[in-house]
Structure 1
Amino acid sequence: MLELQYELESKAAKWYATIDIANAFFSIPLAAECRPQFAFTWRGVQYTWNRLPQGWKHSPTISHGLIQTALEKGGAPEHLQYIDDIIVWGNKAEEVFKKGKRIIQILLKAGFAIKKSKVKGPAQEIQFLGIKWQDGRRHVPMDVVNKIAAMSPPANKKETQAFLGLVGFWRMHIPGYSQLVSPLYRVTRKKNYFEWGLEQQQAFEHIKQEIARAVALGPVRTGPTVQNVLYTAAGEHGLTWSLWQKTAGETRGRPLGFWSRGYRGSEAHYTPTEKEILAAYEGIRAASEVVGTEASLLLAPRLPVLHWMFKGNMPSTHHATSATWSKWVALITQRARLGKPNHPGILEEIMDWPEGRDFGALPEEVARAQEAPPYNELPEDERRYALFTDGSCRVVGNHRKWKAAVWSPTRQVVEATEGEGESSQFAEVKAIQLALKIAE
């Protein structure tokens, strides 16, 4: 279903129409020799289906395939199909009406039934697969927002799972979704008793607020003026990444999606560098599904990634296995080498996490990070530009307090910043950001 959503985002249409085939399964007769497989007994009498039954696991696949074949043989205009749901689009209402009419004619000729109430549009806003579409952008429908906002706190594991299933469908609209709902997932585990506490209530209210203010995603655009920016970050509790687009004449970028997940297994024990590489790896995989594998990316991690990927060997201190490193290197270097000469598939710029911020860096402005030699091996005229960074964290009462600092031994430059609620790894990254600002 995600592939259909990404493709529909790329259309950026002004008008839409949807067609839902009535009783699609029951429109498909079963072969006589197959009917005994669907025999059942009710009130002592044995029956069998002679039409494709609802509830059989293969019915959706068979139905989708037969409808698709009928549309292809009939020469249907451009459309997208998911089982018995079909959508057409265009820049004018008349164009969309003609496309919809042609598809209905093909389906009727193939023996499928169409009810007028199942045909929607042409319209500039429409719902397809439960999603509101407008100008090629995905929106959370207002009825969904209202339904979630009106929900009471779950009273047991089953109700919690139902709530998570409902909000989880919209996770790509919510930055840091996995971290937000983590307290709710904990109470659904089999080994845990259901105990709804303050942490769960806060997470429940927070996710409802995020759904209410969820941003629209898309459209996916292509062309030489389009810039795809992938922000990746590894936090204390998991990975987050988001994909944005900006084109000529726009002052702000448009989000294409937000992703997040917790650490799995040994990933929690990775070094900070490995976690950032893992976030970039997952981000590049997700971005490739949205914009394709040939579109160039501006990768914006919080630590240098491409340097390690092209270096060809692992750092002396690492926790990920050699096989994992090989997997990272294979994907990222292959993706980076795609593209035209002097225009690599991936460029890298270290920058802050972006939600709500503009990004204006052009590929020509991107500077690649390189590993510096030891300080005592630097030429004397370069030592005055050297900067040392450090970050630390300590627990005071029930609060984490972190501090990041930058120091120059020759210029006696000292800068520091501090805050609460983050780890020592976060402080180290902030120190690097401070150093980069000083270096400018």
Structure 2
Amino acid sequence: ELLERGFIHPSVSPWGAPVLFVKKKDGSMRLCIDYRELNKITIRNRYPLLRIDDLFDQLRGAMHFSKIDLRPGYHQLRVKEQDISKTTFRTRYGHYEFLVMPFGLTNAPAVFMDLMNRVFHEFLDKFVIVFIDDILVFSKSKEEHEDHLRTVLQILRQENSEVITMDPAKVEAITKWPRPTSVTEVYSFPGLASYYRRFVEGFSRLALPLTKLMRKGEKFVWNEEREKSFEELKQRLDSAHVLTLPSGSGGFQIYSDASKKG
């Protein structure tokens, strides 16, 4: 994926950091590059990273909040030409180097936060708080919050930051996914689809006919129920709604589901 998006390309650099895999909360694996040896000889950027508690002190009196996550934040910064070879990492599939700033470099958080603070300098602590790749917009009234959000999104648009859309590449990959012909292929589809499970109400129930095939000893039988589940998931993800936080003004009702189907 990094290669397809133009974030990396093959390298002949004498550098080469090893690659590690770290388990995420959902059980899948995250690619991590061990830049510890490079970090040891890197001159540290002393840009101050503020404490979360100090940032929250700015929120007194605010009643409306919106959090914007810049994904993938670091990859929006290009690496200097003379430093590209230093980002090289080695895998069993080849030797690659980053054209954009990778995760794992000791100065990456400071460099990115410096950039974001310069972008939003005029509005910091007025209605914007920046912490690395997260932007918190806070306001005292709904009307004021709408104006503040409009200002922030306009600035991001001017900086060519795509922050309000789902990843079209992932959605397209899901909608064009061919019908599975083996248990191995069944494993792959729910794994990719679950990336956006929070956008689909009842995702676990819809995916149940497919996830049953992943049980130990289950034979691969593709029937009408599984075909319906497969197509329904693709359709739901292709037309997924935007998520928003509830206002809370009308209270909440919680329904627990013990049916093993939800």
TM-score normalised by structure 1 residue count: 0.25
Q: Which has the higher contact order (CA 8 A, sep 6+)?
A: 2
Task: Return the structure number with greater strand share.
Answer: 1
